[in-house]
Structure 1
Amino acid sequence: MAEKPTVLFVCVHNAGRSQMAAGFMRELSGGRVEVLSGGSEPGSAINPVAVAAMAEVGIDITGNVPQRLTTDQVRESDAVITMGCGDACPIFPGKRYDDWELVDPAGKAIDEVRPIRDDIRSRVEALLADLLPPVLPSAP
């Protein structure tokens, strides 16, 4: 794996789950991971309830725009995390592929999205622990 691994988060519309996961990975990795996201059928805008749920935990994803998943993104990535995109993801040997079964937050109220957000955060934390060695405090 690369010194700075690349993680690609994929869901159908790239408007909710994958955007929340990418937001958490950017924040929690402190720039030690290159983060990409895409969708097999990108939506026209980020889900506003996902934006609100992330804002509650101090992560701003308002400037994000749904993007179409590309073969190059998959090729560049060390880990590809799919969230209900089915067979739309191309497969390349030597990559880590995980499929996270998560409820789609589309059309859900904030009270229903918070548990999805929290589940995503837990999964991102576990993925980050697998990808990166712990940061040791520097000697005095």
Structure 2
Amino acid sequence: MTISESRAAQVLYAAHEIWNRRDLAALLELFDDDMIYWSNVGTASAETVLHGKADFLAFLNGLQHMEGLSVPHSFRFRDGVATANAEFYLRDHRSGYSHSGTFRQVLTFRGHRILRMDEYHDAAALSSFLALLDSEASEP
């Protein structure tokens, strides 16, 4: 079953809306059990690759100390692949530091669920922000 353009748009926009509410259970319902999350920002390596809902949930739980908001726009759909840009804002509750920017998402689907989500951030800027938070959290 191939997803329609309108349904793909609904799923993508719903994912952002649900993430903004931090309803992780509802967010995971939008993803296939065999889902893959990929981002060009990582910790020890240059990227993050997560397989399955359990790994994705653990990753999302690790972000719970941050307030965040993402707003997608510029949705496109072609050959079963959805793309969009998103504006985002993150604020760390512990330090008060914040970061904002844009990223690109590419989604593929299995049925009406997200099978793979790739995110392309300004890796240098976001990595620097996350490293700053890590250094603040590790200080005595």
Scaled by the length of structure 1, the TM-score of the pair is: 0.32
More strand by share: 2
